[in-house]
A and B are shown apart, each in its own frame.
Chain A
Amino acid sequence: MSADAALIAAERVSQVYAGRDGTPNWALRDVSLRIGRGEFVCLIGPSGCGKTTLLHLIAGFVRPTSGTVSFAGAPITGPGPERVVVFQDYALFAWMTARQNVEFGLRTRGVPRAERRRQALRALERVGLPHAADRYPHELSGGMRQRVAVARALVVEPEVLLMDEPFAAVDAMTRQTLQEDLLRLWQETGVSVVFVTHNVDEAAFLAQRVVVMGAHPGTLRTDLAIDAPHPRERGSARFAELYAEIAGALAGHHGRRAA
């Protein structure tokens, strides 16, 4: 895609953490990446490849040691509701019901109570949980919690959804349903999605583009465009090809370097 269309642009970003004895630890080294409006991008790689670090940089939780990360042309200086993160688990406020959790982002911008409630219930309906509105997170299953987390993120109408292995802690069957629902929501809302995973099947099922990362130091290895249309049939030969392509890139057989 062209440079000016990029919603998120990371330019030669490095992120160095101090180890316990002070040795520099390169979580990311010289990473450049552009993500366009409305794109669905998966970041995939082994642990230690810096995929979560990259997500946190885009979220604005941390500042890069060197290089710049910008959003819609402006450098990112901190977290904001145009870039909402969905975490793996335990991110719902335990002291709020599902509805109150979803209302939180509206409350911070002073939406009146009745309007807040209406929008929250609509968001819960969209993720298929209108009946769970008054339950607390500990009364919900792992899959339901993640649906509420997605509803809580979408209700503030972000431009990008940053998802950090959001379905890693749920069982395989629930995960497939959640993936299908996420695709539906992505198509309905036109939101961009940056989705961190270590699961090849998940990337092959979801992404328009798979960014394969390597570890120690964290770098971009390959940038695969997946041109198969959604929904993808897991049993199909095309899906098996996609799977093999991503798995091959992960294993390092793929020669193509990221731009």
Chain B
Amino acid sequence: MSLVSSETTDHRASRSAPAPADSFEATFRAAHRRRLRRAAGWRIALNIAGLVLFVIAWELIPRYSTWINEVLFPPPSQVFATFVPLLLSGQILDDIRVSLVRAASGFGVALGLGIGAGVLTARLAWLQYLLEPLLHGFRSIPAIALIPLCILWFGIGEVSKTALIAWGAFFPLWITTFIGVRDVNPIYLRSAACLGAGRLTTLFLVVLPAALPFILTGIRQALSVSLVVLVAAEMSGASSGIAHMMSEGHQLFRVDIMFIGLAVLGAVGFLVDRAFVAIARRLFPWYQITS
């Protein structure tokens, strides 16, 4: 509809030819801006409508169907009623904070080690050949399979959680960095060498930026792995955190508490991913992340 209306104004402007070019360009620009704004608004409206429809369906179906037990599948109003006191007492924010600190510390360790290992194995063939059987072997072990061992070794404290998350997040970072660094366009390396760049300059100004699209993919994957391992680790032995709250809800037969945990995890995962995209856009304006 917006297209049609702007076209008709354009026709009118071009027919009454004496109108100065400036005013035509101004109206064209305004129409273009309006079109973009309308498209963006339409998208956001549909995003919100999707959420609202979901909540409505979730509220109505347990109430009016005979085959759903409300205790096992509480509607959003009930979940929300449980959520408000938890939020006001600050308990849930504490749990979120504890969980985020765990995920961040494990991810941080993996970030350093994974990128470091990726760069070294891609640049030094002998190191690659020395480590590849080990790394690929260990990579096939899911982090979750290590939880019992980790608890035996490090107890149920923060160390075992950080170690598990770091383990899980390390491999996607290592693999993507390795591929990115290995496949850097040789023309970049040759240009750098021609212009007199040494090893370190080449690494930081050429190799790492050139591998960045791959490394960013690895970071994104590692972020979601971190959350998965976090939940598994907290469920199998912890005294705080979101997943611990959920397993308490499980023991108390409180599905509403478990739902709160799920919603929080979903929201945190979503926000972390959005934050990642925003930060990447800010830091690397030349690299376009579309979604």
Interface residues of A (CB under 8 A from B): 59-61, 78-81, 83-85, 87, 90-91, 93-96, 104-105, 107-109, 136, 138, 152-153, 156
Give 25 A-B contacts (CB < 8 Å), ordered by A residue.
A60-B193, A80-B194, A80-B196, A81-B194, A81-B195, A84-B194, A85-B191, A87-B187, A90-B185, A91-B190, A93-B191, A93-B205, A93-B206, A93-B210, A94-B210, A95-B209, A95-B212, A96-B286, A104-B192, A107-B201, A136-B285, A138-B286, A152-B195, A153-B194, A156-B196
Within 8 A of A (CB), among B170-211: 185, 187-188, 190-198, 201, 205-206, 209-210
Q: Is B154 located at the chain interface by the 8 A CB criterion? A: no
CA–CA, A43 to B188, complex, Å? Answer: 23
A57 to chain B, nearest CB (A): 13
Contact residues, B202-235 vs A (CB, 8 A): 205-206, 209-210, 212
User: Looking at the complex, which one of A59, A93, A138 makes contact with B194 (CB distance below 8 Å)?
Assistant: A59
Of A60, A94, A107, A108, the residue contacting B286 (CB under 8 A) is: A94
Say whether, besides A93-B188, A95-B212, A108-B201, A79 and B193 are in contact (CB < 8 Å): yes
> Is A91 in contact with B187, judged by CB distance below 8 angstroms?
yes
Known: A61-B193, A91-B190. 17 other contacts (CB 8 A): A59-B194, A78-B193, A80-B194, A83-B194, A85-B190, A85-B194, A87-B187, A90-B187, A93-B205, A93-B206, A93-B210, A95-B209, A95-B212, A104-B192, A105-B195, A138-B286, A153-B195
Q: Is B270 an interface residue (CB 8 A)?
A: no
- Cross-chain contact A95 with B197 (CB below 8 angstroms): no
Contact A95 B190 (CB under 8 A): no
Contact indicator B195/A95 (Cβ below 8 Å): no
The residue on B at minimum CB distance from A149 is: B191
Give, as a whole number of angstroms, the nearest-CB distance from A82 to chain B: 9
Q: Check B80 for interface membership: any CB of A closer than 8 A.
A: no
What's the minimum C-beta distance from B132 to chain A, rounded to whole angstroms? 24
Q: Which residues of A contact B205 (CB under 8 A)?
A: 93, 104, 107
The minimal Cβ–Cβ distance linking A94 to chain B, given in whole angstroms, is 6
Of all chain A residues, the one with the shortest Cβ separation from B212 is: A95
User: Cβ of A95 and Cβ of B196 under 8 Å apart?
Assistant: no
A80 to B205, CA, bound (A): 17
Question: Please, how many residues of chain B have a CB less than 8 angstroms from a CB on the other chain?
Answer: 22
Residues of B within 8 A of A96 (CB): 286
Check if B196 sits within 8 Å of A91, measured CB to CB.
no
Residues of B whose CB lies within 8 Å of any CB of A are: 185, 187-188, 190-198, 201, 205-206, 209-210, 212, 284-287
Question: Considering the chains assembled together, what is the distance between the CA atoms of A60 and B191 in angstroms?
Answer: 12
Say yes or no: A104 contacts B197, CB within 8 Å: yes
Checking B195, B284, B286 against A104 with a beta-carbon cut-off of 8 angstroms, the contacting residue is B195
Task: Please tell me which one of the listed residues B193, B194, B198, B287 contacts residue A95 in the complex, with CB atoms under 8 A apart.
Answer: B287
Chain A nearest Cβ from B83, distance in angstroms: 44
Choose among B187, B195, B209, B287 the residue that contacts A156 (Cβ–Cβ < 8 A): B195
Q: Nearest-CB distance from B281 to chain A (Å)?
A: 14
Report B181 CB to chain A, min CB distance, Å: 15
Could you tell me the distance in whole angstroms from the C-beta of B213 to the nearest C-beta in chain A?
10
A147 to B285, CA, bound (A): 22
Evaluate contact between B196 and A105: CB separation under 8 angstroms: yes
Closest CB of chain B to A105's CB: distance in Å? 4
A91-B192 Cα distance, complex, nearest whole Å: 10
Minimal beta-carbon separation of A142 from chain B (angstroms): 15
Q: In the complex, what residues of B have CB within 8 A of residue A156's CB? A: 195-196
Whether B209 contacts A79 by the Cβ 8 Å rule is: no
Which residues of B lie under 8 Å from residue A105 when comparing CB positions?
Answer: 195-196
Which residue of A is nearest B284, CB measured? Answer: A95
- Chain A residues with CB under 8 A of B190: 59, 61, 79, 85, 87, 91
CA gap between A83 and B196 in the complex, in Å: 10
State A94–B192 Cα separation when bound (angstroms).
13
A156 to B198, CA, bound (A): 15
Q: Are A95 and B210 in contact (CB under 8 A)?
A: yes
User: What is the minimal beta-carbon distance from B206 to any residue of chain A, in angstroms?
Assistant: 7
Once bound together, how far apart are the Cα atoms of A90 and B190, in whole Å? 12
- Residues from chain A with a CB closer than 8 A to the CB of B206 are 93
Nearest opposing residue in chain A for B191, CB measure: A91
- Name the B residues within 8 Å of A153 (CB-CB): 194-195
How far is A61 from B194 in the complex, measured between Cα atoms in Å? 9
Nearest 4 A-B pairs (CB), nearest first? A105-B195, A79-B193, A81-B196, A95-B209
- Cα distance A110–B189 in the bound complex, in angstroms: 19
Residue of A nearest to B198 (CB): A108
- A61 to B195 alpha-carbon distance, docked (Å): 13
Find chain A residues with CB under 8 A from B285 CB: 136
Which residue of A is nearest B208, CB measured?
A95
Within 8 Å by CB of A93, from B193, B209, B287, lies B209
Q: Which residues of A contact B191 (CB under 8 A)?
A: 85, 87, 91, 93
Q: Give the complex CA separation of A11 and B287 in angstroms.
A: 45
